[in-house]
Structure 1
Amino acid sequence: MIRLFKHYIPYAVLLLGLLDVVLLMVAAELGWIVRAAQIDMLVEPIGNRVPQLLSFAASLELAMIAVGVYGAESLQSLRFAAARLLVAISLGVIVLALLFFLVPAITFWRSNLLYAMGFATVLLLLLRILAGKTLGGQVFKRRVVVLGAGARAARLKALSRTPGAAFVVVGYVAMVEAKQVIPEAIARDAIHNLADHVVLLNASEVVLALEERRNALPLKDLLRIKTTGVHVNELSTFLERETGRVDLDTVNPSWLIFSDGFSSGRAFSSMFKRLFDVTVSLVLLVLMLPLLVLAAAAIKVDSRGPVFYRQRRIGLYSLGFDIVKLRSMRVDAEVAGTAVWAEKDDPRITRVGRVLRKLRIDELPQCWSVLKGEMSFVGPRPERPQFVEDLEQQLPYYAERHMVKPGITGWAQINYPYGASIEDARQKLEYDLYYAKNYSPFLDLLILLQTVRVVIWPEGAR
C-alpha cells in the first residue's frame, strides 16, 4: 500500500485509477474527433482541448470513486465492476452536462459527451477484462511473514483470505506460544538465521503477532530483519492499515499515545474544515429548500405530529447539543423519552419516513447544526446521552471519539451498515477512532464522495 495524506491506498487501486484517468482522456479525445468529423469541423491540436479533457476525466473519476468502482468487490467481480462503472459514467456525464451551463469554456458540448461516454464505457470495461484478474490477484499483494502461531496469527491468516486482501502470508514462525493454532508454523528453534529465512521467502514485511510480548520480543532477530530492508511492523499498526480501523482487541494506551495521528486540531486543517462546513451548509440549505418544503408537506399528510423534531446528542468534548431532523417516526415512538435502538424494518417508522431515511433526506436539517459549528459534515455520528453513558462503560476508548466534532456522515457510515447493538457500536467505534487518528482534508473528501454510494445503495438504512 501507499500512504497518501495519512490514508493507505492499495497499489492495485492506485494503478487502476491512474490507468482509468488516461483512458478517460483518450475517450474524451475520441468523442471530440468523431463529433468533429460528423460536422466537417477541423480538428485542432490536442493542446487546445486540455481543459475539456481534464474536466471530463476528473468528473468521471470522482464519480467512479463515489460509487465504489475501486472497492474490493469491483476488483474481484467483473459483473459488479461493470454495473458500478455504468452508474458512475452516467452520473459523471450528468454532472458534466450541468457544468456546461455553468462554465462552458472548460467542458465539451453535450453532443461530444454522448460519444465520449460510449468510448469511456468500452475502454474501461476492456481494461478490467484484460487486467482484472491481475489487479485482484497475487501480483500486487505484499508477501508477509508472521512471527507468532497463536490466536493473533490466526486472525492474520483469516484476514489474508478475505476478498480484496492486499497481502499474502508466506510463512509463520512459532515463537513462545503456549497454545499453537497454526499447524504449518515453523518453530523458531528450527531456523538457524531468521533474517535469512525471511529473505529466502522473498518477504517484504514481517508482522509481530506474539500472544505475550513481555520479555518475549526477539530484538536481535527483528534488528537483523530490519537491516536487510524488510519492513517490520507490530499487529495493531498492521491491522489499522489493512482494515481501515483501530482494532480494539489488540490496541493498548501506549500504542495510541506513541503512534502517529490525532492531529485534527492543527490550525490549517481546522480552518479548512470550518470554511468548507460553512460554505457547503449555506449552499445546501438554499438549494434544498424546495425539497425540504415538499418533504415537510408529505410528513404532515402522512401522519399527525410536527414536521421537525429535536433530539439531544453528545458532541465535541462530550458536550450536549440539540440536532434537528425531519420526523420519520410516529410521535409515540419513544415512551417517556426513553432511548430505544432502531431495528430492522422498525414498525415505528412512517411510510414517508422510510423514504426519507433511505435517501438520507431526513438528515438535511442538520446543516443548521453544521452552520452553527456544533457539527461538521464529516465526523463520528453523535449519539444520545443515554447510549453514550452505557457505551463508555462497555467499550474501551469510546470517550476518545468525542475528541473530534461529530458529523452528518463519517468513515463508519460508509464502511459499516447501520447497526443498533453493542457489537455494532464497537465496530463503528473502530472506524471512528481510525478517522480521529488519521484525519486529513483528503480523507474528508473521500468520505463525502463515497457517501454518494451509500445514498444510491442504502444498505442497512433505518
Structure 2
Amino acid sequence: MYNTLRLKQLILLAGDIITLYFSLAMMLLLRYGENNIGLTRVYNAHIESFSFIFAAWIAVFYIAGLYDIRSSKNDFQFLKRSFYALLVAAGAAVLYFYFIPALITPKTNLFIFLGIFAVVGALWRTSYNNLLGLQGSKERLLIVGSGPVTEELVAAIQQNPQLGYKIPYRMNGGLNDPEFKHLSQIFIDHKISTIVIPSHIKRNLAAARVIYHQLSLGISVIDVATLYERMFEKVPLVETEEVWLLDHIAEYRRAYDTLVVPLQRVAAFALFIAFLPLMAVIGALIALSGGFPVVHRQTRVGKYGAAFTLYKFRSMRKNAEPKGPEWASVGDPRTTFVGRILRYTHLDELPQLWNIVLGDLSFVGPRPERPEFVEQLKKEIPFFELRQLVNPGVTGWAQINYRYGASVADAYQKLQYDLYYLKNRSLLLDVAIVLKTLKLLVVKIS
C-alpha cells in the first residue's frame, strides 16, 4: 500500500508551484506582451525575483496548514486559513520588492499578479479539494479487529473523505470473526483493495497464511500502526512492539548526525551573540523585579540518559519547590509577573542557545525531562527511554502537535509524537518543525 497521503501532498505542492508560475506568466503577458525581444531582461528579472518570493510563499502555506490533507475541505476553516496565508504572503512580497530596484515596477505588477493568483489559486485548490472528496477515487479498506486505535482510525476516515479511504466492510471480531475464513469472497464482493490488520493478528501464523493466499487477488496488506502513523503523524504505543522499534527507531542516521549537528552548534553561537543585548535587558528586568539569580540552572536528562545542566531565565519566584519537583503547567501560580511574560513568549528559553553550543541540546528533538520525572515515566510508559536516543531539543514534533504536558497522561501522548520524530528524523522535518514553532509563537504573541 503506497503512502497515498504523501502523494496527495506532493501533487498539492506541485500544483501550487505551477499555479504561481502560471499567474506570473499571465501577468507578464498582460503587461508586456510576448514578442518584444528588448524586454528579455525585464522578464528574467521578474522570474528571478518572484522565484525567491514563491519559495517564501510555499513556506507560509505550509505553516498555515494548507498542505495538511486532513484539512483539505472546502469549508469556512479552509477559506479562512487560505485568506490569512495569502494576506501574510502578499505582505512579505510587498516588503521584499520595496528593497529591490524599480526595474520590475512592483507596485503595479505585484498587485496584478496577486489578483490573478487569487483567482487561479482558488480555482485550483477548490477543484483539487472536490477531487479528493470523490467517492470513486477512494482506496477501499477491509479493517480487521477493534480497539481504541482502530476506532480512532475508523472515525477519522469517516469524517474526512478527502483522505481518500473508504471502509465498505469490517471484521470487528478479528480472528474469531466467522467471515475471516471467507476473505477471498469478501474482497471480490466489496472490491477491497487493502486489508488493515492489528499487530497481534499479524503475528498469528494461521492468520498470516490466510491473508497470504489473498495476495494473488492484488490485495495490499498494511498494519494498523502504519496507517495510524500516516494519518495522525504519531506512533500508537498500544500497537507498537520491540521488533517494530528495532526496524524503525534503531537506525543510525550518519549523514544527519555528521552534517546537521555541527552546523546547528555554529548557528546557535551566532544567534546567542545576536540576542545578547535582548538577554541583557531581560536579565535586568528579572533582577529588578525579583532579585538574583536571573538565570535558572536545572538538571535535565539528555542523550543516552546523561544528565546536563539546562539554562533558562528564571521565571518562578525563589524557593518555588519546597516539597520537591513539581509538574509545570500553563498559568503556573509559582511564576512571577515578568516570568509569565517570558514563558508566554518563550523568551525564557533564550539561554538554551548556549546548551546547543555545548552540544547538550539541539534546536529540534524531544523535550528534556527532569531526572525525577524520567524515572517515574519509565515505569509507567512503555518505551519512554527511547526518547534518549537523540539529543533533546528546544522545540520538537510533540511540542507543536500537543498541548503543554503536565501529567503522566500528557507524557504518554507526547511520546507517540516523539517516536514519530525518531522514526522520520531528517533535516526537512526539522525545518518544518521550526517553521511551525515560529507560527505558534507569532500567534501567541499577536
Same fold by TM (over 0.5)? yes
In the alignment, the residues of structure 2 paired with residue 36 and residue 302 of structure 1 have an alpha-carbon distance, to the nearest angstrom, of 62
Deviation at 1:391, TM superposition (A): 0.3
Q: C-alpha deviations, 1:173-217, integer Å up to 9, x for none?
A: 366556x7xxxxx7234x3xx235324433332111376666564
Q: C-alpha deviations, 1:77-112, integer Å up to 9, x for none?
A: 54323333344344445555666688x59x966534
1:288 aligns with 2:275: yes
CA shift in 2, pair 1:86/1:158, >3 Å: closer
Conservation of the 8 A alpha-carbon contact between 1:316 and 1:405? yes
Q: Say which SS state the counterpart of residue 187 (structure 1) adopts.
A: helix
Q: Say which SS state the counterpart of residue 270 (structure 2) adopts.
A: helix
Kindly report which structure 2 residues correspond to 1:24-423, keeping only aligned pairs within 5 A, or say none. 24-30=20-26, 43-44=39-40, 46=43, 49-71=46-68, 74-76=71-73, 78-93=75-90, 95-96=92-93, 111=107, 112-135=109-132, 138=135, 141-148=138-145, 153-163=150-160, 165=163, 167-173=165-171, 177=175, 187-189=179-181, 191=182, 194-209=183-198, 215=204, 217-257=206-246, 259-263=247-251, 265-335=252-322, 338-423=324-409
Deviation at 1:350, TM superposition (A): 2.9
In the alignment, the residues of structure 2 paired with residue 137 and residue 326 of structure 1 have an alpha-carbon distance, to the nearest angstrom, of 53
What runs of 5+ residues in structure 1 fail to find an aligned partner? 181-185
**Structure with larger RCO (C-alpha < 8 A, sep 6+):** 1
Q: Tell me the TM-score normalised to structure 2 length.
A: 0.85
Structure richer in helix, relative to its length: 2
* Alignment partner, residue 20 of structure 1: 16
CA shift in 2, pair 1:155/1:98, >3 Å: closer
Q: Say which SS state the counterpart of residue 140 (structure 2) adopts.
A: strand
Letter in 1 for 2:198: A
CA shift in 2, pair 1:304/1:42, >3 Å: farther
Deviation at 1:169, TM superposition (A): 1.8
CA shift in 2, pair 1:93/1:214, >3 Å: closer
CA shift in 2, pair 1:352/1:27, >3 Å: farther
CA shift in 2, pair 1:150/1:274, >3 Å: closer
Number of residue pairs matched by the alignment? 439
Deviation at 1:354, TM superposition (A): 2.8
CA shift in 2, pair 1:124/1:381, >3 Å: same
Q: Tell me the TM-score normalised to structure 1 length.
A: 0.82
Q: C-alpha deviations, 1:18-74, integer Å up to 9, x for none?
A: 21122222334455566769xx99753856644333212211001111232223564
In the alignment, the residues of structure 1 paired with residue 171 and residue 46 of structure 2 have an alpha-carbon distance, to the nearest angstrom, of 57
In the alignment, the residues of structure 1 paired with residue 136 and residue 266 of structure 2 have an alpha-carbon distance, to the nearest angstrom, of 44
Instruction: State the identity as a percent.
Output: 30
CA shift in 2, pair 1:350/1:115, >3 Å: farther
Letter in 2 for 1:281: A
CA shift in 2, pair 1:344/1:209, >3 Å: same
Deviation at 1:117, TM superposition (A): 4.0
Conservation of the 8 A alpha-carbon contact between 1:73 and 1:80? no
Kindly report which structure 2 residues correspond to 1:440-455, keeping only aligned pairs within 5 A, or say none. 440-455=426-441
CA shift in 2, pair 1:115/1:281, >3 Å: farther
Letter in 2 for 1:314: V
What runs of 5+ residues in structure 2 fail to find an aligned partner? none
Conservation of the 8 A alpha-carbon contact between 1:377 and 1:408? yes
In the alignment, the residues of structure 1 paired with residue 94 and residue 275 of structure 2 have an alpha-carbon distance, to the nearest angstrom, of 20
Conservation of the 8 A alpha-carbon contact between 1:151 and 1:211? no
In the alignment, the residues of structure 2 paired with residue 166 and residue 303 of structure 1 have an alpha-carbon distance, to the nearest angstrom, of 56
User: RMSD value over aligned CA atoms?
Assistant: 3.4
In the alignment, the residues of structure 2 paired with residue 380 and residue 170 of structure 1 have an alpha-carbon distance, to the nearest angstrom, of 39
Conservation of the 8 A alpha-carbon contact between 2:45 and 2:104? no
Q: C-alpha deviations, 1:329-361, integer Å up to 9, x for none?
A: 22243226x211123322223333333323322
